[in-house]
Amino acid sequence: MTFIVNLIKNRNFVLILAVVLGLSIGDFANNIKDYTIYILALVMTFSMTNIRTKSLYPPSKLYKPMMMGALLNYLIYAVVSILLANWLIDDKELFYGFVVIATTTPGVAIIPFSNILKGDVEYAIKGVLGAFLCAIFLTPFAVGWLTGNDGISSMSLFVLMLKTIVVPLILSRFLLLPKWLPKVELIRGKIVDWGFATLIFIAIGVNRSVFFDETSILFNIALVLFCTHFVMGFTYEYLAKRWIKNPAFLVSQNLLLTIKSSGFAVVTALTLFGKKAAIPTAVLPIFVLLYLLSLSFRQDYKRKKNK
């Protein structure tokens, strides 16, 4: 029984389970896909409790990390991802899925993994916030421009950003009150993990046939995501060592560059462009997880080697 409880609590197991269930009983996803926005809003509310208000002071020290977060997660990732997708992806709807990934918000997992990987947590928090603010105001116009406003309006996407970023950010401040915080910390991990898993299950489930019948499409999607995480991440780290002398800064910047919010990407793609556009967003969390695991395993190897 203890083994089963530990499995349920394990983030990696939950994600793998979501993928397996999406492929096996994914038809059920059509019954709950209309609730994706509400699931995402709940997940984002609890996730954003990682962004503590005290980390935003003093304001004079916010500017540089916020700008760097926006530059890495929003601009550089977007340019590389869009160029690769434009080169390798022929299908218009699939390309729109990559547009959503490129312009979506950073993954809040950047903050806890900055801690796990011995990065600068305060820097990561400020960088995530900077990329979030950038996404709120620029994503509606960027997506509209890159897709030629194909069936969407910038205002519709802006409203979606308000519902899934701004409102959860405000609500998360209430969850940080001393009265609620101890209870929030007990359940936050479970809500975030299972909420994101539900969104991944939906994205895979509504596209279940594609995962079995169109493997060539999945190969190209996987190639783009491999390049935008592993290749870009390790290349940036190699080059940045030349001018960044603080290893903790480098760890956090690497995460800010490569980690996107899978849940937000899934909901945005499904809401704006339909289920086919959600295929790249369903594959995204697999590569995010693999990349984070590779960084963790590498750190463990270095620690053992130094001993």
CA distances from 284 to 14, 24, 199 (A): 15, 19, 12
Contact yes or no for 54/111 (Cβ under 8 A): no
What pLDDT, in 10s, does the model give residues 251-270? 999 999 999 988 888 888 88
CA distances from 123 to 91, 100, 168, 246, 272 (A): 38, 25, 22, 12, 33
Q: Are 113 and 294 in contact (CB under 8 A)?
A: no
Q: For the chain, what is the largest distance between any 2 Cα atoms, rounded to a whole number of angstroms? A: 58
Banded pLDDT at 4 (limits 50, 70, 90): low
Q: Residue 260: beta bridge partners? A: 106
Residue 65 — very low, low, confident or very high, per pLDDT cuts 50/70/90? confident
At 80, the pLDDT band (50, 70, 90 cuts) reads very high
Q: How far is CA 146 from CA 118, 247, 285, in A?
A: 37, 36, 23
Give residue 254's pLDDT.
94
Task: Give the residue, 88 or 302, on which the prediction is more confident.
Answer: 88
Determine which of 5-14, 125-134, 209-218 has the lowest per-residue pLDDT on average. Answer: 5-14
**Tokens linked to 175:** 């969850």
Q: What is the band of 231 on the pLDDT scale with cuts at 50, 70, 90?
A: very high
Domains and CATH numbers, the chain: 35-306 (1.20.1530.20)
106 has which bridge partners? 260
| Mean pLDDT over each residue of the chain, to the nearest integer | 82
Query: What pLDDT is recorded for position 235?
Result: 94
**In this structure, are residues 33 and 202 in contact, taking their beta carbons and an 8 Å threshold?**
yes
Across 21-30, 223-232, 245-254, 275-284, the highest mean pLDDT is recorded for 223-232
pLDDT tens profile 143-170:
777 777 665 666 777 787 788 778 888 8
Say whether 173 sits in a helix, a strand or coil.
helix
CA distance 169 to 110: 16
The most confident of the ranges 117-121, 136-140, 298-302 is 117-121
Q: What per-residue confidence (pLDDT) applies to 270?
A: 85
Q: Given a cut of 90, is residue 230 above it in pLDDT?
A: yes
Q: Do residues 69 and 256 lie in contact, with contact meaning Cβ atoms separated by under 8 Å?
A: yes
pLDDT band at 221 (very low <50, low <70, confident <90, very high): very high
Residues 123, 174: contact at Cβ < 8 Å?
no
Lowest mean pLDDT among 75-84, 125-134, 205-214: 205-214
The DSSP output letter for 107 is P
pLDDT of residue 222: 93
What is the model's pLDDT at position 157?
74
For position 9, what pLDDT does the model report? Answer: 64
